[in-house]
């Protein structure tokens, strides 16, 4: 089971274009940050451009930013985030799933998957919201009834449920299941323990690796932060591939 997951991971990472997920994710984030900055900047700058707003102290204009414009700009940014978040998720997870399946990739695969898998990304987000709400309800109930013990139990339950979101993502992006069918398969006991163990093992190793690299980076004031950033991006891609490869290897009906 783990041998198959290792083999799938190695084969996927041999495709150079799988690393485009990290590059395009950075570009995507920077573009969104630019749009957000321009939108908020335009809303705040309107009073400064008013013909009667000239003032000996330019940092304190006579006409402060219109709150309605600022709120409108924030609402626009929220709408962009709601639309762009699933677009990024579809591109990232769709490309990683293709890599695990052995589908040939190129540097445009991220964007083609972002368009093709957009609806499935919304399904994954819906599951994430429901999962978070369920965790909050359980935490509230256990916290009220058992106090400190309840908080500890909540943490253990969240740790035990770690593989559920991975199964949902795998069902949607690897197997192409409908949302309801993917949801049902998240609760199947077969293979869950192996999937969970593989995820926890990678999480521990990744944490230790970042801890060591952060210690090394402390002695490299210029290159250190760059090293940590590159390592974090690489571990994110490897972790995504490993998670989907584990799902593939432990699935009741693996994808052919």
pLDDT at 155 over 60: yes
Tell me how far apart the alpha carbons of residues 50 and 39 are, in angstroms, rounded to a whole number: 18
**Domain ranges, ordered by start, for the chain:** 2-250
Would you state the structure tokens that stand for residue 112, as one six-digit string?
């083609």
Mean pLDDT score of the chain? 88
Hey, which of 23-27, 94-98, 184-188, 222-226 has the most confident mean pLDDT? 94-98
SS3 138: helix
pLDDT at 211: 95
Residue 4 pLDDT greater than 70, yes or no: yes
- How many other CB atoms are there within 10 angstroms of residue 167's CB atom? 24
Q: What are phi and psi of 157, to 5 degrees?
A: -65, -40
Per the CB < 8 A criterion, the answer to whether 158 and 135 are in contact is: yes
């Amino acid at each position: 089971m783990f041998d198959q997951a290792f083999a799938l991971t190695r084969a996927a990472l041999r495709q150079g274009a799988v690393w485009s997920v990290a590059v395009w994710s950075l570009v995507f984030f920077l573009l969104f940050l630019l749009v957000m900055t321009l939108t908020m900047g335009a809303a705040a700058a309107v009073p400064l451009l008013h013909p009667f707003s000239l003032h000996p102290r330019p940092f304190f204009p006579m006409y402060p930013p219109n709150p309605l414009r600022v709120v409108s700009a924030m609402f626009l940014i929220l709408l962009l985030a709601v639309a762009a978040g699933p677009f990024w998720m579809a591109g990232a997870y769709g490309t990683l799933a293709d890599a695990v399946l052995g589908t040939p990739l190129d540097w445009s695969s991220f964007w083609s998957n972002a368009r093709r898998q957009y609806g499935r990304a919304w399904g994954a987000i819906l599951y994430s919201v429901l999962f978070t709400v369920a965790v909050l309800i359980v935490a509230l109930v256990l916290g009220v009834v058992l106090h400190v013990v309840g908080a500890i139990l909540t943490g253990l339950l969240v740790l035990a449920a770690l593989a559920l979101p991975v199964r949902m993502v795998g069902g949607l992006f690897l197997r192409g299941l409908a949302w309801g069918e993917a949801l049902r398969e998240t609760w199947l006991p077969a293979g869950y323990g192996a999937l969970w163990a593989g995820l926890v093992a990678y999480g521990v190793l990744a944490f230790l690796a970042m801890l060591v690299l952060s210690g090394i980076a402390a002695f490299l004031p210029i290159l250190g932060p760059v090293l940590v950033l590159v390592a974090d991006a690489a571990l994110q891609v490897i972790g995504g591939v490993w998670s989907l490869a584990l799902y593939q290897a432990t699935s009741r009906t693996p994808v052919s």
